[in-house]
Structure 1
């Protein structure tokens, strides 16, 4: 048996042993958004209210009278929907519903949706950067994702500093500059969710948990340790303060080793010793020498937190990559965003 045939059989075996639940979360690449979106209408038969993508079973009647079931996947899940007013009880099994989106290029009767029109006439926007298309009576979307209008407590009176849960300020409050090398761009173009940690519900390493605009919660463990909870895949990091110069660092790990210090109202963090091969969910490669420099700057009235990271890795980028984001001290409990099976 030649080596190519052996490789083929190994790949075939891999496809056979991967459980179907591992592919319940999908890459957006299978939906060709360069094409105009289409409508898909039918009777809602089941709702899978879960992260990272809520799914629906839809009974559709074909032109010849035959019935088929489509799987419809929303662009987001409960964690992103709830702050925008999109709730589980709006989707009533047995009622007619119309979705807007794209047919999958990979799977039969699979549909990615950004908008849904309910039988009641209410439109639900299922993507936090999308807008309503059918109705002025709607919830969700770009406008509802801006949180500056939310009620913010008297943060000066509370005097919690950074040690609380922080909520993303919403659409438009993030910048990103990821100057991939030509080689990295080519690798990302070949991305296949079959082999992706995130699409197969495996928690990623740094800096992937910091890429999505989700909750950040800070907990003071002691004078030398800060616990940082990032909502993506319920990630827990530890920031080590007052580290002696002669201290032996730990072995490399997926989340790396984070050392921090304060300069005024700004927490500076440097993370090294990252043993994780990818920079992002599309499996852009990163080296073991990658460095992640982060700053969290607290406003004078303690109501706002400005975040910035700089990722330095010549394998991935032509120059240092940056991301900035604004968080607000809205009194909401810390929310996670990973894989779960709520129905």
Structure 2
């Protein structure tokens, strides 16, 4: 690939797309051209300081004197940079970045290295620094305020609390599912570059949202239950059965959900899901899909188990059951 005014280096690196989801997008071969490292130098003029990933815009002047604006994914969520002592202002100015060009467009890049105006370098993963011996230090373990821990223990009420990151991804569980003929056609037609709404629009739908390895808060708000998922600040509304909201379904990315308590468990029925796939790496979802979900806490109160049984007669020849779980760390909150 020839890019004016941009240093290009080739590397021998091949990663199976099925091995990674969007949580490691810079090294995802389905989304990035991971066989070439592109290096940019220019002025970083804008920073988008929000979940799920830190992004910025860099003005690069090519060999022909023409300015090109690049959209660069600079790293993980802003909270990780705040814990390293950085703010948006630390990124603004003359920078260098090196990483992989996105398959979504030639002027989009996922950074592996970022050289800040201060001369400090941010390195993703365990890579060798590229330009500087002055590195931005890794974030220290995040201390939890003892007062928050005490309050969390005092107010914990079954499922209603803040749960830590979930521990089972959705993609491996979808391997080997039995498709209908139409499901096979839709699966073959899926393009992880052209059809990945999550990457294109920075939002998330069901069921993938419930399998993200991020903090989740569940609260009881009277006639409804709110499930707040940190990754895209997604909020699911679970209308309690028998309320007006439960009887008036509205389609959306997270669907329409009605639920009830079965003892200490929350049981949810979700329909009207307006989201095209079960996983961003593929596996199409039809508008006929419905879920039966159950959230339950273990006897010791430290683990939230989640089960989803999917019925989608257009795509699957039989029902599909997915599971995951989250652990409770008292005092942890959604940033």
Q: Bin the TM-score by the shorter chain.
A: 0.5 to 0.7
SS at match of 1:279: strand
1:83 and 1:145 in contact (8 A); partners too? no
Which of 163, 167, 181 is the equivalent residue of 1:166?
A: 163
Which ranges in structure 2 are unaligned for 5 or more consecutive residues? 1-24
1:75 positional shift: 6.3
In structure 2, the partner of 1:270 is 269
- Would the aligned equivalents of 2:119 and 2:134 in 1 still touch at CA under 8 Å? no
Could you list the per-position Cα deviations for residues 126-154 of structure 1 after superposition, in whole angstroms to 9, with x for gaps in the alignment? 6xxx44432794456xxx6998x867824
Cα deviations across residues 149-185 of structure 1 (Å, max 9, x unaligned)?
867824434434432333426xxx3333123644343
In structure 2, what is the Cα distance between the partners aligned to 1:191 and 1:108?
13
Aligned match of 1:227? 226
User: Residue 37 of structure 1 aligns to a residue in which SS?
Assistant: strand
Q: Which runs of 5+ in 1 are unaligned?
A: 1-25, 336-343
Residue matched to 2:185: 183
Offset of 1:281 from its aligned partner?
4.4
Q: What count of residue pairs does the alignment treat as equivalent?
A: 291
Superposed, which structure 2 residues align to 1:1-343 within 5 Å? 29-33=30-34, 35-60=35-60, 64=63, 66=65, 68-74=67-73, 78=77, 81=80, 85=84, 87-89=86-88, 91-95=90-94, 97-120=95-118, 122-125=120-123, 130-134=125-129, 137-138=135-136, 153-154=149-150, 155-168=152-165, 173-176=167-170, 177-179=173-175, 181=179, 182-189=184-191, 191-193=193-195, 196=197, 199-200=200-201, 205-222=205-222, 225-231=224-230, 233-241=232-240, 249-251=247-249, 253-254=251-252, 255-264=255-264, 266-274=265-273, 276-281=275-280, 284-300=283-299, 302-317=301-316, 320=320, 322-329=322-329, 331-335=331-335
TM-score (norm 2): 0.65
Which secondary structure state, in structure 2, belongs to the residue aligned with residue 32 of structure 1?
Answer: coil
Point out which structure has higher relative CO (alpha carbons under 8 A, 6+ apart). Answer: 1
User: TM-score of the superposition, structure 1-length normalised?
Assistant: 0.64
CA contact (8 A) 1:312 1:321 kept: no
Superposed CA RMSD: 4.3
